[in-house]
């Protein structure tokens, strides 16, 4: 006797399914509440629904929730969730194979005990062994082993020497332009200034009535910083400095370069803070050997021209000083030069030609 199969229920209309879904979501929203700890995992989405409106619908992770066949599942994965790599059992137990590979690379008696093992991926483990080489204290031999999927055979992937937390490493590399220091430039060395060096600015010479020299904001430039059509432009104060022509220098010192030089000179041993200046009888501003500079650096600096001074030929601050000041005097004592003492009472016996002291008879001064 054959049993007739049950007749399949007619498919529900789309409007009825939509109403049932909204009613289910509303009940879940009332049950969960705004502060419910239920994790949001699967979001049902019906074809044709607005994505922005769908994002505002409550979600549920309760078991037994059904999704109609005409809807799709959208999995919500938290972006903060990170998969933890686990050690593969077969690769983790292959430390003897890793030690043999390290000894083959390093040599005998240079591989220490196992320091640790870490998972680098699926079926990929790196074993770390201490390095016993005296030249590489704190370093570790790293041997990575791996195996194929559904295979129990473990093979060596790579072997190398890596620094450990206590290893001696070289300092961080610094470019040559940042590593050079004052005084490093020797005979034959070249250190060209870059095109964007902030310490330099190009000289702009404009022809005609609007000819100007863009270099400084000092008074000398405001008075004489204009060039006529029939004369070649000169730097202000160039006649006293040897007629240095602007055309011979495509770039000149900028305001930034001037300020940096002033700070460097003033804080050096040629400034007022040096021990030599503290013990000086006077300042360089009152010394006759000071050669003044042009404005604006001449307001605070000059050049020493005393050959006996320790700062001879160097730029010094006006409030600097040394013992070779032109107006320094030799200090005198309070009692002056001591007066020689003459003994007019005592006398000394000396030998004279033809007279011997042994044959001379001395009498009393009181006798007549």
264 shares a domain with 247: no
| Contact (CB, 8 A) for 221 and 215 | yes
| Contact (CB, 8 A) for 163 and 139 | yes
247 shares a domain with 202: yes
Assign 287 a pLDDT band (cuts: 50, 70, 90).
very high
Beta bridge partners of 75: 42
pLDDT at 81: 63
Q: What is the mean pLDDT of residues 279-307?
A: 93
Examine residue 3 and state whether it is found in any structural domain, yes or no. no
Tell me the per-residue pLDDT of 257-277, one tens digit each, with 9 for 90 and over.
999 999 999 999 999 999 999
Examine residue 276 and state whether it is found in any structural domain, yes or no. yes
Examine residue 155 and state whether it is found in any structural domain, yes or no. yes
pLDDT higher than 60, residue 43? no
Q: Which of 7-21, 217-231, 285-299 has the lowest mean pLDDT?
A: 217-231
Examine residue 6 and state whether it is found in any structural domain, yes or no. no
248 shares a domain with 270: no
pLDDT higher than 90, residue 250? no
Phi, then psi, of 221 in degrees rounded to 5: -75, -30
150 shares a domain with 96: yes
Q: What is the mean pLDDT of residues 347-368?
A: 68
Number of structural domains (the chain) is 4
Q: What is the mean pLDDT of the chain?
A: 75
148 shares a domain with 94: yes
Q: What is the mean pLDDT of residues 52-78?
A: 50
Owner of token pair 């250190």 = 191
Provide the residue range defining the domain that includes 311.
257-317
Q: Which of 57-71, 158-172, 196-210, 324-338 has the lowest mean pLDDT?
A: 57-71
- Per-residue tokens: 250: 């495509």
Assign 341 a pLDDT band (cuts: 50, 70, 90).
confident
| Contact (CB, 8 A) for 301 and 292 | no
Residue 183: CA atoms inside 13 Å, Cβ hemisphere, count?
0
218 shares a domain with 279: no
pLDDT higher than 50, residue 238? no
pLDDT higher than 50, residue 224? no
Tell me the per-residue pLDDT of 83-95, one tens digit each, with 9 for 90 and over.
677 889 999 999 9
pLDDT higher than 70, residue 206? no
116 shares a domain with 97: yes
Q: What is the mean pLDDT of residues 20-42?
A: 55
3-state helix, strand and coil shares in percent for the chain, rounded to the nearest 5: 20, 20, 60
pLDDT at 228: 41
Examine residue 322 and state whether it is found in any structural domain, yes or no. no
Tell which residue, 154, 166, 93, has the closest CA to residue 127.
93
| Contact (CB, 8 A) for 311 and 325 | no
> Looking at 163, 188, 206, which one is the last position of a domain?
163
pLDDT at 42: 43
pLDDT higher than 70, residue 111? yes
pLDDT at 78: 57
Q: Which of 10-19, 223-232, 276-285, 304-313 has the lowest mean pLDDT?
A: 223-232
305 shares a domain with 264: yes
Q: Which of 39-53, 114-128, 182-196 has the lowest mean pLDDT?
A: 39-53
pLDDT at 340: 79
Question: Which of the two residues, 77 and 340, has the higher pLDDT score?
Answer: 340
pLDDT at 363: 66
216 shares a domain with 237: yes
Question: Which of the two residues, 368 and 255, has the higher pLDDT score?
Answer: 255
pLDDT at 156: 95
Examine residue 1 and state whether it is found in any structural domain, yes or no. no
Examine residue 181 and state whether it is found in any structural domain, yes or no. no
> Looking at 297, 317, 337, which one is the last position of a domain?
317
- Provide the percentage of residues in the chain whose pLDDT is more than 70: 61
Dihedral of CA 347/350/353/357: which sign? positive
Examine residue 69 and state whether it is found in any structural domain, yes or no. yes
Owner of token pair 């199969």 = 5
């Amino acid at each position: 006797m054959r049993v007739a199969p049950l007749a399949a229920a007619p498919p529900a209309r789309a409007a009825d399914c939509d109403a049932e879904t909204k009613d289910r979501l509303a009940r879940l929203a009332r049950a969960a509440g705004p502060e419910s700890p239920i994790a949001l995992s699967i979001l049902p989405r019906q074809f044709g629904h607005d994505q922005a409106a769908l994002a505002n619908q409550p979600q549920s992770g309760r078991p037994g929730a059904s999704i109609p066949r005409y809807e799709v599942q959208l999995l919500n994965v938290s972006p903060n969730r990170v998969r933890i790599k686990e050690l593969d059992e077969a690769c983790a137990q292959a430390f003897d194979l890793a030690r043999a590979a390290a000894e083959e690379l390093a040599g005998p008696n240079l591989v220490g005990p196992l320091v640790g093992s870490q998972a680098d991926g699926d079926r990929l483990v790196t074993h770390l062994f201490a390095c016993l080489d005296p030249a590489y204290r704190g370093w570790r031999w790293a041997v990575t082993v791996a195996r194929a999927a559904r295979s129990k055979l473990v093979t060596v992937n790579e072997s190398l020497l890596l620094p450990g937390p206590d290893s001696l490493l070289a300092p961080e590399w610094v470019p040559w332009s940042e590593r050079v220091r004052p005084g490093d430039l020797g005979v034959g060395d070249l250190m060209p200034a870059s095109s964007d060096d902030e310490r330099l600015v190009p000289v702009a010479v404009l022809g005609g009535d609007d000819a100007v020299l863009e270099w400084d904001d000092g008074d000398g430039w405001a008075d004489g910083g204009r060039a006529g059509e029939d004369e070649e432009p000169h730097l202000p104060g160039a006649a006293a400095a040897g007629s240095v022509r602007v055309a011979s220098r495509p770039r000149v010192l900028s305001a930034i370069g001037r300020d940096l030089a002033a700070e460097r000179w003033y804080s050096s041993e040629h400034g007022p803070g040096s021990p030599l200046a503290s013990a000086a009888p006077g300042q360089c501003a009152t010394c006759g050997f000071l050669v003044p500079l042009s404005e604006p650096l001449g307001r605070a600096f000059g050049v020493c021209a005393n050959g006996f001074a320790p700062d001879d030929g160097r730029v010094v601050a006006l409030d600097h000083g040394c013992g070779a000041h032109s107006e320094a005097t030799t200090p005198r004592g309070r009692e002056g030069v001591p007066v020689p003492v003459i003994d007019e009472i005592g006398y000394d016996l000396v030998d004279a030609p033809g007279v011997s002291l042994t044959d001379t008879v001395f009498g009393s001064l009181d006798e007549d």
